[in-house]
A = this chain, B = another copy of it.
Amino acid sequence: MGVVVKKFGGRLLENTEKIGQVARTVVEAKRSGAAIVCVVSAMGDTTNQLFNLAREITLDPPIRELDMLLTAGERISISLLSMAINSLGYEAISFTGSQSGIITDHHHTRARILRMTPYRIKEALKKGKIVVVAGFQGVSEGKEITTLGRGGSDITAVALSKSLASSECELYKEVGGIYSVDPKIVANAKKIPAISYTEMLELAALGSAVVHPRAVEIAERSKILLRVRSLNGEVGTVIEEQPSIERASIKGIALDNRIVMITLVGVTKLSDSLEQMISVIGEHSIPVRFFFHGVGEKVCDLSFIIEEQDCDVTLSLIQNVDKRLKIKQIICCKDVGQVSLVGSGIGSDGRTLSSVFSTLAKKGIHIDAVHTSETRITLVVKRAKTELAVKSLAERFELTE
């Protein structure tokens, strides 16, 4: 029987009682004969608490030290879960990211996995032990402790599934599945029974933070089936390759209010102006959502969407290339949000797009910008209207129970 990787989120490990519940779930699976690797996040709010301690000391902590600090969180949860499993009479052993052979590049707080050498995990599995691995963390070739960024435990779990030749990875989350719309906005939102990697990637990248996009990417490349589920055995969501794309249908709607739209008015249309702007921002690893042009002949307006947290840095970068581009005015629009509909084929389906427009028009919601891809329609609207937009679209496309 193969190896099963089970990842448990921080909310499921909030206190020792909940850790006991997770241990019982793990032991039950072990009884069915599988070799089990658990990947765990830090308990409940630990990562934020540690981060706040750092902020009390300095607003600009060295990122190497931040990684040293934050990795204490999973060290606590792996040892406690391992103790809980042992106390149920099953042998468990915990490993840090380093002990698990998760070798990353040297970029602290946002490291990427270079390769996996899980020798110790394999050895422990051979001895019949349940292995408990610290998610989110790794070690660089220079023996520095690194972290994979927020939500990085998903990445650890899927990368381990791959390197242990497991074809399935189970992500236990408190929400127990992926919803077509955020249940906080639309109370009776439907749970999605199955979704393709591509659709999930779009949802994940657009503010629906249930599964980390990099985890989905690895799963897609390695054809690993992801199962998002709850502890209580309810049916969750399966993320896998979809055998055939049928007619365009909307799988889910994501909302992201933490964005800013920056518009540069009257940019000189030098041949490389756009390229230059992209490269300056790209060099600083700032994710840019999309660009669009005005239609002037010699000058044009250039707008793009960035995350709110990157706003200050981006504005100062723009000041630096300002002279060359001869920008007349920089407008920084903070009162907008982004509503995205995700589903295979919807981006190129005119009927869906026109339904979206008419639904929003009826509610008096003005669309500031639209961007589509094969599997996504993204609308920028005033932030005060985003929730209304989500609700109207969820109703129109029957995403509620």
Contact = CB atoms under 8 A, between A and B. Distances in A.
Q: How many copies of this chain does one complex carry?
A: 2
Interface string A321-363: 0000000000000000000000000000000000000000000
Interface of A is mostly: helix
| Most chain B Cβ neighbours within 10 Å, of A50, A79, A99 | A79
A160 to B, nearest CB: 18
A80 B99 contact: no
A61 interface: yes
Interface stretch (A66-74, A292-300, A312-320, A386-394): A66-74
Contacts of A1: none
A54 B80 CA distance: 6
Contact of A94 (B68, B73, B75, B120): B68
Given A19-B57, A53-B16, A64-B93, A80 B69 contact: yes
Contacts of A69: 75-76, 79-80, 83
A391 to B, nearest CB: 42
Contacts of A79: 54, 65-66, 68-69, 72
Nearest to A142: B120
Interface size class on chain A is 35 or more
Nearest to A54: B83
Contacts of A99: 143
A13 to B, nearest CB: 11
A4 interface: no
Contact of A62 (B66, B78, B83): B83
Contacts of A109: none
| Most chain B Cβ neighbours within 10 Å, of A61, A62, A82 | A62
A84 B58 contact: yes
Contact of A76 (B53, B86, B93, B120): B53
Nearest to A42: B72
A331 to B, nearest CB: 35
A93 B68 CA distance: 10
A145 to B, nearest CB: 8
| Most chain B Cβ neighbours within 10 Å, of A73, A76, A120 | A76
Contacts of A73: 72
A39 to B, nearest CB: 15
Nearest to A70: B79
A87 B58 contact: yes
Given A54-B83, A60-B87, A68-B94, 13 more contacts: A16-B53, A16-B57, A20-B57, A53-B80, A58-B83, A62-B83, A62-B86, A66-B79, A68-B75, A69-B79, A71-B75, A72-B72, A99-B143
6 contacts: A60-B87, A65-B79, A68-B75, A68-B94, A75-B75, A96-B145
